[in-house]
Structure 1
């Protein structure tokens, strides 16, 4: 896999981490923090760059050919799915849990749960979706297939497939080209020849 160097764990080291499932050609940077690997399922050709945090209370499924750029955080108590060919740019946060900010409840994990009102809901980043640098995806959101999220955006509701969104909160800007699907077929044909 391109970009392989001594800053990443070897395949043998990754295999020993006891992930729920682990594919081939997985690159995980040695500075990543990964909590409860048995709840994390990684496909083939996954790359997780420097200083990422993966910490889920339920399960995290990462499909084939997924890239998590440096300082990406994927965390929460509900399931998180990142489907094949999706990508997260530098500093993206995908959260499946959030405290109640209304002031009606206490917040943070040092307080017993009967005094808080944590909302947890599954998050899905669909295939071929891309999330721009510094964006935040909140609990319960599905980013539609082929969706593109502009940098520094707040995704607090589902997005349509093959659409470009940006803003705080995100708004749909326009359609996104599907031409990359032709390239996907060509790419897959090269994999079958190897």
Structure 2
């Protein structure tokens, strides 16, 4: 399924405009996403923590590229699996929102903690049609997005970087640096001894 739907088709001919209730995505893609949401609800959302391999298998059926050791908790909300890549021993904790209209990559040993929000979508506020714009998110190996943090469109979190709890990132986070606040600012360096190879 990934080859046909990993880059969602925007429905530019929709009338009325999306701001007035018109469709942003093509009808066929909306149907496929509905099927995905139903499958996750029926077969994964209720499963206990040790069913992580099963949830990874289901995500891969919908086009995700997830290593067999990656962990996705049952309460995670993933907009579209075809735009998700997760490396070895990477994880998304309980309640993570993964709004991946564009690609989200979570590298080896990276952690996205509970109730964090990874958001690849925004809107052109200067266009009356208010069109959806999307840019990918990349989270480097050994990085940590702490609880309830927000990662915006186009953000790159460098290897080993940390975004502190409830931090808000809209720009690049440098490797092996700890960030906190809204907007996130560097507060100190992180030891490279924390790396797992």
TM-score, normalised to structure 2's length? 0.69
Gaps (5+ residues) in structure 1? 1-5, 21-36, 107-114, 186-194
CA-CA distance at 1:7 after TM superposition? 1.4
Contact conserved, 1:57 with 1:78, CA < 8 A, in 2? no
Aligned with residue 79 of structure 2, among 55, 58, 62: 55
Call closer, same or farther: CA 1:58–1:47 in 2, change over 3 Å.
closer
Matched with 2:134 is 120
Gaps (5+ residues) in structure 2? 1-46
Matched with 1:160 is 174
Aligned with residue 80 of structure 1, among 83, 97, 104: 104
Per-residue Cα deviation, 1:156-190 (whole angstroms, up to 9, x for no partner)? 00010000000101000010011123xx25xxxxx
Call closer, same or farther: CA 1:173–1:10 in 2, change over 3 Å.
closer
Aligned-partner SS, 2:65: strand
Spell out structure 1 runs of 4+ moving beyond 3 A. Answer: 8-15
The alignment status of 1:130 with 2:144, answered yes or no, reads yes
For this pair of structures, how many residues does the alignment match?
150
Structure 1 distance, partners of 2:110, 2:179, is 15
The alignment status of 1:19 with 2:33, answered yes or no, reads no
The alignment status of 1:139 with 2:153, answered yes or no, reads yes
TM-score, normalised to structure 1's length? 0.70
Call closer, same or farther: CA 1:168–1:124 in 2, change over 3 Å.
same
CA-CA distance at 1:105 after TM superposition? 4.4
Call closer, same or farther: CA 1:158–1:11 in 2, change over 3 Å.
closer
Q: Which has the higher strand share?
A: 1
CA-CA distance at 1:44 after TM superposition? 2.7
Call closer, same or farther: CA 1:98–1:10 in 2, change over 3 Å.
closer
